[in-house]
Every structure is written in structure tokens, then in C-alpha cells.
A and B are shown apart, each in its own frame.
Chain A
Amino acid sequence: MKSYNDKNIIAVKFIVWLFILSSVMLFAGITSAYIVNRIGLLNANKWIYIQLPNVFICSNILLIISSITIYYANYLFNEYKYLYSKTLLIITFFIGIFFLILQLNGLKYLINNNIYLSGNVAGSYIYNIYYTWSTCYIWSFRYLLLLFFYTTK
């Protein structure tokens, strides 16, 4: 039989998963809008193909790497290897900074190629996903700092 404390810890973890699920649904909404709109505009020959810059591919790779580093940071923390855990958190933090630089470069590329938020809908979707994602990014950055703070403590 679990104690009330144990139940509460499990519950807090569950809350995090549900927050993730709601974020997934938010992006599902935007993505489905993108798919529906794209099909409609392709049929009407109004869709503009936008070649995304390679920095976005690099930032995606960094995203995957940062997921691995933070996963292992958590794993090592649970194994009481605090120093390794902290090191991985710092690495994740710097990957985050590098990711941000790449994203800004991507934004610069879009502007240099005359792709704006208020232009063709194809471009608007890129900006929309970009900004919505940025909001999530800022939240996760805050979470990372909190995590670092608690690990140091």
C-alpha cells in the first residue's frame, strides 16, 4: 500500500505527462490546420514551396541530443551520481543556447528570402509554429534552470 506522500509524488509526475499531452494536442491542432490549408491551396495552385534552411535540420538534431542528455542527467541523478548529472545538465543548457542561435539564424534566413509572417500562408505557418514552439522553449528553459538549481542544492 502506497503512502499518501508516495501517491503525491506519482501524481505530480502524472501532471507533467498530462501537460505534455495537452501541448501535443495544441501542435496537433496547428499541424492539422497546416495540412488542410496546404491541400486546399495546392489544389488552387496558391501554395508556395519554401525551402527551409539547413540550420533547422541542425537544430532538430540538437533537439534530439538534448533530449538524450537530459534523460541521462535524470538517470544519473537517480543513481546518486550528482556530478555527472550536473555536467549533463550544463551540456543540455549549452545545447539549448546553441539551438537558440541556430533558430535565430533560421529566422534571419527567412527574412532575407522575403518570407514574412503576413505573406503567403505557407510562410505564416512556419512563423506560427516557430513562435508557438518558442513559447514552449522558454517554459522548458525555465524548467531546466529550476532543475539545475535543485541539483546544485
Chain B
Amino acid sequence: MDRQTDNILSNNKFNMKILKYIFSRDHKIIAKQFLITAMFMGFIGLFISVLFRLQLAYPNRPFYIFKLFFNKFANDGYLDPSFYLSLVTIHGTIMIFFVLTGGLSGTFSNLLIPLQIGARDMASPFLNMLSYWLFLLSSLTMLYSFFVITGPASAGWTIYPPLSALPKAINGSGTGQTVWLISMSIFIISSLIGNINYITTIMNMRTQGLTMYRLPIIIWALLLTAILGLLSFPVLMAAVILLILDRGFGTSFYLSDIFLAGEYLHYDGGSPILFQHLFWFLGHPEVYIVILPALGISSEILSINCRKPLFGYHTMIYSLIAIAGLSFFVWAHHMFISGINPLIGSVFTITTLIIAVPSAIKVFNYIATIWRGNIKFTTPMLFTIGLISFFITGGLTGIYLGNAILDINLNDTYFVVAHFHIVMGSAAIFGMFAGIYHWYPKLFQKMMNEKLGHIHFWITYISIYLIFFPMHFMGINGMPRRYYDFNAFGMFNIFINMNKFITIISIISGFAQLIFLYNFTYSMFKGKDSSKNPWKANTLEWTTPIEHIHGNWENDLPVVYRWPYEYSNPKYQDDYMPQNISDKH
């Protein structure tokens, strides 16, 4: 055993103390930290969404719950209109960055990369620890914005200027927006540190025999996610720096010829469209930063639960690479109504439609894997099927929105809300649930309750369609997003009852998540003990001891002899063959 290994294995001085959760550099503990923080943030994001849905369904009715939580912004229980925008902004920010980016990628990269590539830990366990603590700091900073006097940021999760650049524009443009920018800067640094570590670990620390074409798809997905983050987050950082300078130092990068409350402001020469370009250069790859890990998770779970080799392993890899590469050339499809040149719009329409090809290949491969499989409808499998369903439904509406001619009409309507909540939000969150249910035994050495898992799945799955499917029709009828009260517009009266229906289903769906929370917490202490390889899977994480040790394997690192999807091969006695067992065995 070499020195490094020895150090890792013997560096367990905090193991018996609560302090191990603070100072731990063990990737498995850090994965748990990411997961629990993301779950906490996720419940806050969910709760916020229920609150603003209440406002949309019953705009003229006071609610005690508004007064209870946001007294200052809810006079006599009536929600303040600008605070409604803050709630929408913080909901989007939390869900996209803190749950689906930090939570999904942070949790599963940390848990799976060293375990599935046969490494003792990340390339730099210290940077890994730093990445988590910065993530926590940025999460808390974002939540702190609820306690500033003018309330949280309210320019939307995309924080378009001038609303975000002029501190006096509306309430949320003040200190809340500054706190948002500070939080996001910390988040970007955390994300960059994490991504650098993930890429380095995968490229350099793979065990003997584990070539790139023997890697599980999830590792490919996490690698490409990290590359996307590494290349796109610094550009968002550049945008944020310019925005901070505009807000605090009187520059005009994004501002020009502006009147505020009748007063002419000195800003000259800037362009708010510039921010949109910089933002969406991150923003669109961000969509894939969110969905790629979920797609990777689904690949693993499908193969295991169908007891079949993953169909089209190599094409899956090339599709992932193509999606990741193309994601840098589609950003302006978010800007079709910003007045960009129609020729440029056509170019981005084409690149956007091209990205549907590798996405469709992935879906085809999923279906081909399921086809004639010996399917086991475990909870993770159900969530994976749900993910595929959402990816198809949401992907189809993406073709509409990728087309400039249609998008100009549908932009900023509920059609867009429905599209991204299904394809990006729900699909990715289902990937996350699938991953949690599947790797729970690896995280906590216990099994989650299957019956509760099934109830959680069915309520959530049906709810999502009931919530978001009608929104397509609302959007086609021109209903705009981010409006506080639709009663002022007679043409939307036909949707009054639909809004109420969606809100009621949202509340039911919200309660269904408490079933998950109960199952998650209860199983941690009272759940059935897990065996070493409860799903009879092939990948290396199931070859480690049940009890966690820092360093993962007690003795030598495993050697890999084959790809990870050797299921139901008649050559072998069992219907699975772990990667580390040689044929001579």
C-alpha cells in the first residue's frame, strides 16, 4: 500500500465525533452534505412555489400563511405584488442552482466518481470539502435575502438588467439583488472548484483496466457536466462582475438612456442585450448541467432493473458529447424576441433543432433497453421511467420553442413555463429521486421503504402532468408568466378555475414530498439493513464494504475486466457479472 493510500485510510481521527461532518474530506460524507443541503433548499423552493400558486389561484383573498411568514410583505394577508416577483425569482434560483445543479451534480459526482472509477477519494479532497462549504455559504446567503429590509431579488432567476442593475428600480432591486449577486458569485466559485476536481479525478485516478470505454454512462455524464460547468460558469462570473460594477460603481455596461421615475439617469452606451448574451452562454449549457447527470443516473438504473445490457453504449456516449458540445451554440434561442437579427435567429433555430437528434437517440436507446427486458418495477426504476416520459413530453415542446417563428408568439407565456418545468425541472428532479432511492443503500447502509416510494412516485408523477400539461394551453392562449393577478385581464377569465385546480394539485404534490422526507429520514434509522450489492449491479461501488471507510476499499484497489453492463449473459451463471471479477475466476 503506498503512502497516499495509507494516509487516507489512517486519516479517520474525526470518525467517532460529530466533527467529522465539518472537517471530513471523505467524498461520501461530502455527498451526504450536498444531498441534505439540496433537500433543505428544495423544500424551501417547493414551499415558495405553493405560496405563489395560492396567490395565482385566489388573488383577492388574504391568507394567514402569507402574514405568518412574510408579515412585512403581506399586509393583512394580501401578498405584495413586488414580493410575488421575489418569490418567483428565489424559487427559480433555488431550484435551478441549489437543487438541480449543486444538489444533483454535487451529490452524485461526489458519491459516485471515486467509487465507480475505483479511486480512494477525489483528486483533491481538500478542494472537495471547500466546494461544499462554499455551496452551503452561498445557499445561506441566498436565504438571508429574505431578511433584508427591501426583500429578496425580484428580477427573475435570469436577473435581466435594467431591473437588476438599478438598485432603486423596485424593492427587490435593492439590497436583495446585491445579496443575490454575492450568493451567486460564491456559488460559481464552489461550482468551479467542484467541477475541476471531478474532471481531474475521472481523467487521472481511474483504476487499472478502467478505460474510458468501460466507464459507466453516469461517469461520462458527470464528466461532461463538469466540463460544461467549467467552461460556462466563468462567463456568468464575467456577466456578474459587469453587473456589480453597473450597480455599485456607476458604469454603463448594461445601461443606456434610462429614465427612472421621470428622472433621466446618466448611464450611456451600455446594452441590456449584452447581459442576455453572456447570461445565456451559461444559461443554456446550465440546462444540460442539470439534465445530463439525471440522464446518466437513468442509464444505470434502466440497465440494472431491466437486467439487460444498456442498448447502444457507444452511441449513448457520443450523444452525450454531442449534446454537451452543441449546448454552447444554442443560447440565442432564448433571445428571439430581443430584436436579434433574423438571420442569426435562423442559425440558432437550426442548431437548436440539431440538438434534438442526439437527445432522440438517447431516448431511443432507453426504450430499446427496456424492450423485452426482465423489468423490475422498483422505486428507482419507476422514477426513471417517469424521467423518460417527461424528457419526451418536454422535449417535444422544446421543438416548438426552438423555432423562432413559433417562439416569438409563445415566449414569456405559460407554454414556456410548462416546457421547462417538464423537461428540465421534473425530469431532472425525477433523476435525482431515482438516484437517491437507488444509491440510498450506499449512502446510509439501509434500504428505503418500497411501498412509500411507490406512493411517492405515483402522486408526484400524476401531479406533475396535472399541473404542467394544462399550462401549455394557457400559454397558447397568450397567458403571460410572472403576472401577479390575472383578474385584471378579462380574456384570461376562462382559466380562473384551471388556476385553482393547478394550485390544489400543487399542494397535494407538495404533501407527497413529505412522504419522501419521512421515508428518507425513517429509513436512515429504522430501515431494513442493506446487503453489499442489493440491486445485483456490476459497477465498482457495490464492491466496497457496507460500512463506510475513508479510502473505500480496505486493501488493494479493484481491477476492472469489462464494461459495466454485462447483464443476463448466458456465458455466466448469474444474470450479472461485476466489473472487477475476471473470467478466469
A residues near B, CB below 8 A?
A: 1, 3-5, 7-8, 10-12, 14-15, 18-19, 21-23, 25-30, 32-33, 36-37, 40-41, 46-47, 117-118, 120-121, 124, 128, 132
Q: In the assembled complex, how far is the CB of residue B351 from the closest CB belonging to chain A, in whole angstroms?
A: 18
Judge whether B237 is part of the interface by a CB distance below 8 angstroms: yes
Report the Cα distance A14→B233, complex, angstroms: 19
Q: In the assembled complex, how far is the CB of residue A18 from the closest CB belonging to chain B, in whole angstroms?
A: 4
Q: Which of B196-204, B413-421, B489-497 contacts A (4 or more CB under 8 A)?
A: B196-204
Which residues of chain B from 244 to 296 have any CB-CB distance to chain A below 8 Å in the complex? 245, 249-253, 268-271, 274, 277-278, 281
B interface SS class? helix
Q: Closest 8 CB pairs between A and B?
A: A29-B238, A118-B250, A11-B123, A25-B234, A29-B235, A26-B234, A121-B269, A11-B204
Which of B127, B270, B281 contacts A37 (CB under 8 A)?
Answer: B270
Report the Cα distance A28→B281, complex, angstroms: 12
Which of B3, B203, B281 contacts A29 (CB under 8 A)?
Answer: B281
**Interface centre among B120, B195, B239, B253, by most A CB within 10 Å?**
B253
Q: In the assembled complex, how far is the CB of residue A31 from the closest CB belonging to chain B, in whole angstroms?
A: 9
For A47, what are the chain B residues with a Cβ–Cβ distance below 8 Å? 269
Is the CB–CB distance between B123 and A8 below 8 Å?
yes
Judge whether B321 is part of the interface by a CB distance below 8 angstroms: no
Which residues of chain B from 491 to 522 have any CB-CB distance to chain A below 8 Å in the complex? none
Is the CB–CB distance between A15 and B196 below 8 Å?
yes
Report the Cα distance A121→B242, complex, angstroms: 11
Report the Cα distance A33→B557, complex, angstroms: 48
For A28, what are the chain B residues with a Cβ–Cβ distance below 8 Å? 234-235, 238
Is the CB–CB distance between B208 and A14 below 8 Å?
no
Report the Cα distance A19→B124, complex, angstroms: 13
Q: In the assembled complex, how far is the CB of residue B387 from the closest CB belonging to chain A, in whole angstroms?
A: 30
A25 and B249 in contact, given A12-B123, A14-B203, A15-B123 (Cβ under 8 angstroms)? no
B residues near A, CB below 8 A?
A: 2-5, 120, 123-124, 127, 192, 195-197, 199-201, 203-205, 208, 230-239, 241-242, 245, 249-253, 268-271, 274, 277-278, 281, 557
For A40, what are the chain B residues with a Cβ–Cβ distance below 8 Å? 271, 274
Report the Cα distance A7→B3, complex, angstroms: 12
Q: In the assembled complex, how far is the CB of residue A3 from the closest CB belonging to chain B, in whole angstroms?
A: 5
For B245, what are the chain A residues with a Cβ–Cβ distance below 8 Å? 117, 124, 128
A25 and B235 in contact, given A14-B203, A15-B197, A124-B251 (Cβ under 8 angstroms)? yes
Q: List 6 A-B contacts (CB under 8 A).
A: A3-B2, A14-B123, A15-B124, A18-B199, A25-B230, A121-B252
Is the CB–CB distance between B270 and A5 below 8 Å?
no
* Supplied contacts A11-B124, A26-B234, A30-B241, 15 more A-B pairs, CB within 8 Å: A4-B2, A4-B5, A5-B4, A7-B204, A11-B123, A14-B199, A14-B204, A15-B127, A19-B196, A21-B231, A25-B230, A29-B237, A40-B274, A117-B245, A118-B252
Is the CB–CB distance between A118 and B253 below 8 Å?
no
A26 and B2 in contact, given A18-B199, A33-B242, A124-B253 (Cβ under 8 angstroms)? no
Smallest CB-CB separation from A47: which chain B residue?
B269
For B197, what are the chain A residues with a Cβ–Cβ distance below 8 Å? 15
Smallest CB-CB separation from A122: which chain B residue?
B269
**Interface centre among B199, B234, B270, B277, by most A CB within 10 Å?**
B234
Is the CB–CB distance between B205 and A7 below 8 Å?
yes
Which of A10, A22, A121, A124 contacts B234 (CB under 8 A)?
Answer: A22
A26 and B238 in contact, given A4-B120, A37-B271 (Cβ under 8 angstroms)? yes
Cβ-Cβ contact count across A and B, 8 Å cutoff: 122
Is the CB–CB distance between B127 and A4 below 8 Å?
no
A18 and B200 in contact, given A1-B208, A11-B205, A28-B235 (Cβ under 8 angstroms)? yes
Is the CB–CB distance between B204 and A128 below 8 Å?
no
Report the Cα distance A7→B277, complex, angstroms: 39
Is the CB–CB distance between A22 and B124 below 8 Å?
no
For A8, what are the chain B residues with a Cβ–Cβ distance below 8 Å? 4, 123, 205
Q: In the assembled complex, how far is the CB of residue B210 from the closest CB belonging to chain A, in whole angstroms?
A: 12
For A132, what are the chain B residues with a Cβ–Cβ distance below 8 Å? 241
Q: In the assembled complex, how far is the CB of residue A143 from the closest CB belonging to chain B, in whole angstroms?
A: 15
Is the CB–CB distance between A128 and B199 below 8 Å?
no
Is the CB–CB distance between B268 and A46 below 8 Å?
yes
For A121, what are the chain B residues with a Cβ–Cβ distance below 8 Å? 251-253, 268-270
Report the Cα distance A124→B204, complex, angstroms: 42
Is the CB–CB distance between A5 and B238 below 8 Å?
no
For B123, what are the chain A residues with a Cβ–Cβ distance below 8 Å? 8, 11-12, 14-15
Which of A11, A33, A37, A128 contacts B201 (CB under 8 A)?
Answer: A11
Report the Cα distance A117→B241, complex, angstroms: 13
Q: In the assembled complex, how far is the CB of residue A141 from the closest CB belonging to chain B, in whole angstroms?
A: 19
For B199, what are the chain A residues with a Cβ–Cβ distance below 8 Å? 14, 18
Report the Cα distance A32→B276, complex, angstroms: 13
Q: In the assembled complex, how far is the CB of residue B158 from the closest CB belonging to chain A, in whole angstroms?
A: 16
For B281, what are the chain A residues with a Cβ–Cβ distance below 8 Å? 29
Smallest CB-CB separation from B271: which chain A residue?
A40
For B251, what are the chain A residues with a Cβ–Cβ distance below 8 Å? 117-118, 121, 124, 128
A4 and B204 in contact, given A14-B123, A22-B234, A26-B237 (Cβ under 8 angstroms)? no
Is the CB–CB distance between B274 and A117 below 8 Å?
no
For B208, what are the chain A residues with a Cβ–Cβ distance below 8 Å? 1
For B242, what are the chain A residues with a Cβ–Cβ distance below 8 Å? 30, 33, 128
**Interface centre among A22, A32, A40, A41, by most B CB within 10 Å?**
A22
Report the Cα distance A102→B250, complex, angstroms: 26
Which of A10, A37, A120 contacts B204 (CB under 8 A)?
Answer: A10
Report the Cα distance A12→B201, complex, angstroms: 10
